[in-house]
Structure 1
Amino acid sequence: MSENENTAAGTIRIDVVSDVVCPYCILGYKQLEKASEQSGVAIDLHWHPFELNPQMPKEGENLREHLAKKYGTTLEQSIASRARLTEAGAQLGFSFQYTDDMRMYNTFQAHQLLHWADQQGKQTALKLALFDAFFTRREDVSDETVLVDVAETVGLDREEAERVLREKTYAGAVRADQRFWLERGIQGVPAYILNQRYLVSGAQGVENLSRVLTQVAAEKAA
């Protein structure tokens, strides 16, 4: 997967609208990664921001309580869902570490850092590190210190990351990108736009995504 490059001949550009606190977004990425390997179709990823919880208070909310309030999820449904996600993640090489006290957070600052990381050629690395931080280590991905720590682990400059967050350098750009996709009907994530033409929503599975990649690549080559 390349980043910050023009899409080469035979490579499919995929714009990915997602949030780092969305479990299906990391599952979808892992499925897409395997689908690319399985189909032999190279992909060029471009990540875009989506906030699942734009009104979330700074302290966050207990994840189970949040889902119950937002979606009406019962305790039994939550337990079953976490078990399914944990199993699906393990099969794809990702570790979900859910606990009863796990909290949900706002991700606007994380998206600002991701916007900056794109300019450094480190966006995918940071995105994956933030998924790990939230789902595996249960860290507060709205906290500036956590975000800067994670950025540093993927080779980004710590002082520059602090400045980007402190000065809200890319807040306007992130808001504009969010509006762009909302105005085009993206209401849920993950959403994949292939070659800026075809929309695929949700974690569709490796086989389905492999077929889609093959079909789009064949059309591009025709």
Structure 2
Amino acid sequence: MTNLKIDIVSDVMCPWCIIGYKNLERALNDIKSDITADISWHPFELNPDMPIEGQDINEHLQEKYGLSEAQGQENRQRIIDMGKQSGFHFDFDGERIMINSFDCHRLLAWAKTQGKQTELKLAMFQAHFSDQALLNQEQQLLDVVGSIGLDTAAAKAILDSDDYAQEVREEESQMQQMGISSVPTFIINNKYAISGGQTSDTFKQALTQISQEIAASA
């Protein structure tokens, strides 16, 4: 049995991050008799300069990537289809906004100390992409925190302060120094990197090969 350390660099605003994670999860389940994994999440802000009120998603895609409304719709449909294959439901109906995720990352850093980082990350993905929650609104963010059994009063105290801000900034800087410029990036045992929302078969093949290399060098 091989135990792997998997560090995931991602942003709650990134649909490919949850697609990639769900496919990783499926791959690990398929090879669980041979490989286990300890997973940690690390911050990456797709839109660090985004104002607190956020921006309409269509407007954002047009400004940042030059996508027309038709191209944006085509892109969303592809994400919906890939999400369905991975076992995650995306709902892009209605008014959607892109937000700055810094406060989400601060709460995720705190959740790690509570042993619930992955649970909170998945709850945030669900809230943003499936439930159309506005995670730049404090009460909706606290509702997500409370939904997995974390202390909402403690979370509010964090949001009302600068707690975990330095930790998040330092981690972001560390990831940039490692050359990570896109998400998701999956770092295996501090040595191997897998980028993008890969398929479960790709993850399975990569993790198996890494496990075999580790066994051969032992």
With the shorter chain as reference, the TM-score category is over 0.9
- Determine the structure 2 residue equivalent to 1:80: 74
Moved more, 82-91 or 171-180: 82-91
Cα-Cα RMSD: 1.1
CA deviation vs aligned residue, 1:144-203 (integer Å, no higher than 9, x gap): 222211111111011111111111210111000000001111111000110100111101
Aligned equivalents of 2:141, 2:82: Cα separation in 1: 26
Residue of structure 2 in register with 1:13 after alignment? 5
Which residue does the alignment assign to 2:176? Answer: 182
Partner of 1:55: 49
Distance in 2 between residues matched to 1:200 and 1:65, nearest whole Å: 30
Q: Secondary structure at the residue paired with 2:25?
A: helix
Cα pair 1:115 1:123 within 8 Å, conserved = yes
C-alpha deviations, 1:104-124, integer Å up to 9, x for none?
A: 111000000000000000000
Residue 138 of structure 1 corresponds to: 132
Counterpart residue type for residue 18 of structure 1: S
Question: Does the alignment pair 1:191 with 2:185?
Answer: yes
Structure 1: 5+ residue stretches without partners: 1-8
Moved over 4 A (4+): none
Aligned to 1:110: 104
Distance in 1 between residues matched to 2:147 and 2:7, nearest whole Å: 25
TM-score (norm 1): 0.93
CA contact (8 A) 1:64 1:100 kept: no
Instruction: Please state how far the C-alpha of 1:39 moved relative to its aligned partner.
Output: 2.5
SS of match in other structure, 1:11: strand
Amino acid at match of 2:131: R
Matched residues, number: 214
User: Which residue identity is paired with 2:184?
Assistant: P
Q: Which amino acid aligns with 2:22?
A: K
Q: Pairwise mapping of residues 1-222 of structure 1 onto structure 2 (< 5 A)? A: 10-40=2-32, 41-99=35-93, 101-222=95-216
Distance 1:110 1:128 in 2: 12
Amino acid at match of 2:175: W
Deviation of the 1:99 alpha carbon: 2.4
**1:100 positional shift:** 5.0
Question: Partners in 2 of 1:135 and 1:76 — Cα distance?
Answer: 20
Distance 1:23 1:42 in 2: 25
Q: Aligned with 1:51: secondary structure? A: coil
Amino acid at match of 1:206: S
TM-score in terms of structure 2 length: 0.95
* Gapped regions of structure 2 (runs ≥ 5): none
- Look up the equivalent residue of 1:196 and give its one-letter code: N
Task: Tell me the secondary structure at the aligned position of residue 7 of structure 2.
Answer: strand
